[in-house]
Amino acid sequence: MKQLPHIEAVIPVYNEAESIPLLVSQLDRARAALASEATFSYLFINDGSSDGSTELLRTLHAQRRDIRVVELLHNFGHPAALACGLDYFRGDLALFMDADLQDSPAVLPQLFSEWKKGAKTVVVERGERPEKNGILFKAFYFLLRKTSKNLPPINFGTHSLLDKSVVERMRVHKERNRYFPGLIALSSSQIKAVPFARGARKHGESRVGFWGLSHLALTAFLSFSSAPIRLVSFLGSLCALGALLGASIIVSVKLFTNWAIPGWASTMSLLFFSSGIQLLCLGILGEYVARIYDEVKGRPLYWVGSALEPQKRVNDASVSFLYSQP
Ligand code: UDP
Ligand code: MG
């Protein structure tokens, strides 16, 4: 009998105790629709949760044989948890999704049917973001797509179904400042998008938060677009041109007229303007330097505290390969 493809859902978790039970039951429902076509398991990356998620995941792991849990030593952040998910994934297809119920498991049959048709990378295309910073996200995606040559014109995040071959390529990317959708794009020949509305977070606030998202946005820009460093040169040239123009006006006024050059106010505003631009440029360079320093340190992206593999029992043929060590 032909072996069915194995889908492993890879889910980073940071303080999601309120969402996990519903998430697991939604996933169970979605997989039931594919029961005759694929086998299924869940890989939770517990990113140093402190709200009871750890205990909940341990209980689930003890009760079921299709659940694996990797517990990170402490909180390393969403991108690091995803990197750990890439490393620990075992199966033919990885279903990446968040634990906060914003990514619906209901879209799985559509994603799977695209994979059956031959797509190796299937992403969930987001519609309008329900978050309050929706307009900022829109501006971010617009600018990023306009200034990057590696990203397709699709608005997508981590929610995706990736063939093993794509995961294997993504594993090779060892950079510390990671933009997951960008890594998907770099590791895929073609991306199939399935539109699906993203829900609002069901419990609590975003765990990544506004500053975390801003940092991620900056990482995306700095690693997938050369626009920021070009902006520095552009602003520098603009200022130099402005200064040249200003100087020629001043010299002409001095040489050809007997007007007095007015102005403390204009001198000061020019001074503020040019020092503002200089500080902005320094800041942009600083962002690069900080990221270069991060890469040079070569620290591991995450440390695993413990990996809870499924308990082996007889009659578990469908998930038997999960028992072998990675
Ligand atoms: N998450 C994580 N580590 C963190 C922050 C978040 O593993 O330090 C997980 C979180 O539990 C969720 C996913 O990453 O499953 C996305 O987080 P969040 O919903 O806060 O991000 P947003 O949807 O606001 O971008
Ligand atoms: Mg979320």
| pLDDT tens, residue by residue, 42-99 | 999 999 999 999 999 999 999 999 999 999 999 999 999 999 999 999 999 999 999 9
- 240 and 161 in one domain? no
Q: How many CA atoms lie within 13 A of 109 on its CB side?
A: 11
CB of 182 within 8 A of CB of 143?
A: no
Residue 215: its pLDDT value, please? 87
Average confidence (pLDDT) over 189-210: 87
- 231 and 104 in one domain? no
Q: Hey, which residues does 44 pair with through a beta bridge?
A: 11, 69
Give the structural domain span for 208. 6-224+300-324
pTM over the 0.95 mark: no
Over residues 286-309, the pLDDT tens digits come to 999 999 999 999 999 999 999 998
Q: Which of 132, 293, 311, 314 is nearest to 206 (CA)?
A: 132
Percent of the chain with pLDDT over 70: 92
CB of 20 within 8 A of CB of 61?
A: no
In a domain, 216, yes or no: yes
In a domain, 14, yes or no: yes
CA of 206 from ligand 1 middle (Å) equals: 7
Residue 249: both structure tokens together: 């006006």
Residue 311, pLDDT above cutoff 90: no
In a domain, 163, yes or no: yes
Percent of the chain with pLDDT over 90: 57
Round the average pLDDT of the chain to a whole number and report it.
Answer: 89
Average confidence (pLDDT) over 107-130: 91
- 202 and 72 in one domain? yes
- 318 and 214 in one domain? yes
- 28 and 139 in one domain? yes
- 182 and 142 in one domain? yes
Q: Which residues contact 313 (CB under 8 A, 6 or more apart)?
A: 65
In a domain, 52, yes or no: yes
Over residues 215-240, the pLDDT tens digits come to 888 899 888 888 888 888 888 888 88
- 35 and 128 in one domain? yes
- Region at 15 (left for phi over 0; alpha for psi -120 to 50; beta for the rest): left
CA–CA gap between residue 68 and residue 49 (Å, rounded) = 16
- 199 and 315 in one domain? yes
Measured from CB, residues less than 6 Å from any atom of ligand 1 are: 12-14, 16, 47, 75, 77-78, 81, 98-100, 102, 201, 206-208
In a domain, 1, yes or no: no
In a domain, 318, yes or no: yes
Q: Which residues contact 112 (CB under 8 A, 6 or more apart)?
A: 7, 34, 37, 38, 93, 161
CA of 207 from ligand 2 middle (Å) equals: 7
If one counts the domains in the chain, the total is 2
In a domain, 265, yes or no: yes
- 261 and 141 in one domain? no
- 199 and 118 in one domain? yes
Band (326; pLDDT cuts 50, 70, 90): very low
Residue 173: which CATH number? 3.90.550.10
Q: Which residues contact 302 (CB under 8 A, 6 or more apart)?
A: 72, 73, 76, 80, 81, 83, 84
- 281 and 164 in one domain? no
Q: Which of 86, 98, 124, 179 to mutate to test the pocket of ligand 1 (most atoms within 8 A of CB)?
A: 98
- 282 and 166 in one domain? no
